[in-house]
């Protein structure tokens, strides 16, 4: 599998395994989580996407239990995690309201929590999970620089940021932001025309795409009939399924999009790389895009 250069000493697999629902499985044993990671590794998928809030602040611990049981895995994977969302759950159950916290104290505390829960010495990439309307960019930027300088975090980025959010935070930092994780799919394609992708592509910043299957609607039979028909036809022609087609559509874009694939189904995990088998030329890409738009391009 191709890899995407993140920094001079860090690269990600082109497809990322998302652990949003890692705790929401009938089997969260270390052995079963290890099997999921090993299924990824067999395909060259080495990058694991986490967040402190996933599973009500429980998913990082589920991963950590597996890494304690099979410590050799730590040297074979890259870990992305996120912070700044505080919701009334888990260790923040006493919070009166869901809010964002990008203060230095919260970032440093979140990093230490994540390191301990995942049983790792370093986070490969830490993302600010959501733009904070109360952002003090000087404080947040300095805190992100600090966690990198401390050796606890190798690189930093953001998630769900708009251009102005990105430039504000970056203006107060010495460390470059290395990615923006945004929603991109055939059902959430606005990023390709509203400047979200163009801004990052211009700066050669790799993009992580969350919900690449449209929250599951692209494979569940919901949504536009024309799009499903086009995807089914292409899947049959390539001997795969429509999920692989949806991911291949993102992979075909020249902006180095890295789809974040979240599933607990082990068989589905074993087939994540099937997207690489799909022949996606320019006209095919636009056939799917046209079906997603519901009309031909202007």
Identify the three-state secondary structure at position 262: coil
The pair of three-digit structure tokens given for residue 26, joined into one six-digit string: 């009938």
| Annotated catalytic residue 54 | yes
CB–CB of 15/261 below 8 Å? yes
Closest among 111, 53, 118, 117 to 79, alpha carbons compared: 118
Please identify which of the residues 54, 57, 100, 199 carries the catalytic annotation: 54
CA 64 to CA 55: how far, in whole Å? 14
Main-chain dihedrals φ then ψ at residue 9, nearest 5 degrees: -120, 20
The pair of three-digit structure tokens given for residue 283, joined into one six-digit string: 């006209």
Q: Is 125 exposed, middle or buried (0-12, 13-18, 19+ CB in 10 A)?
A: buried
CA 182 to CA 101: how far, in whole Å? 19
Buried b / exposed e across 84-99, counting CB within 10 Å, b at 16+?
Answer: bbbeeeeebeeeeeee
The three-point CA angle 110-116-117 to 5° equals 85
Q: How many beta carbons lie within 10 A of that of residue 194, not counting itself?
A: 12
Helix (DSSP H) and strand (DSSP E) numbers for the chain: 12, 12
Q: Which residues are the active-site residues?
A: 54
């Amino acid at each position: 599998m191709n890899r995407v250069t993140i920094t001079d000493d860090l690269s990600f697999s082109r497809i990322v395994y998302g652990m949003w629902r890692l705790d929401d499985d009938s089997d969260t044993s270390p052995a079963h989580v290890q099997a999921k990671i090993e299924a990824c590794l067999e395909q060259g998928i080495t990058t694991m996407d986490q967040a402190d809030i996933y599973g009500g602040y429980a998913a990082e611990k589920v991963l950590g239990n597996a890494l304690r049981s099979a410590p050799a895995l730590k040297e074979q994977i890259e870990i992305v995690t996120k912070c700044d969302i505080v919701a009334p759950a888990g260790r923040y159950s006493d919070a009166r309201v869901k809010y964002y916290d990008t203060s230095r104290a919260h970032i440093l505390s979140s990093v230490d929590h994540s390191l301990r829960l995942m049983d790792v010495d370093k986070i490969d990439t830490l993302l600010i999970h959501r733009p904070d309307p109360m952002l003090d960019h000087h404080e947040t930027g300095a805190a992100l620089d600090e966690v990198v300088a401390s050796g606890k975090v190798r690189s930093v980025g953001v998630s769900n940021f708009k251009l102005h959010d990105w430039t504000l935070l970056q203006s107060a930092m010495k460390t470059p932001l290395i990615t923006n994780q945004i929603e991109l799919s055939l059902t959430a394609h606005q990023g390709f025309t509203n400047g979200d992708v163009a801004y990052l592509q211009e700066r050669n910043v790799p993009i992580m795409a969350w919900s690449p299957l449209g929250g599951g609607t692209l494979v569940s039979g919901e949504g536009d009939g024309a799009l499903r028909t086009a995807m089914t036809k292409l899947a049959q022609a390539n001997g795969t399924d429509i999920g692989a087609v949806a991911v291949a559509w993102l992979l075909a874009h020249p902006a180095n999009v890295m789809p974040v694939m979240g599933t607990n189904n082990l068989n589905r995990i074993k087939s994540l790389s099937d997207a690489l088998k799909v022949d996606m030329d320019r006209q095919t890409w636009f056939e799917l895009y046209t079906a997603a738009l519901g009309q031909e391009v202007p």
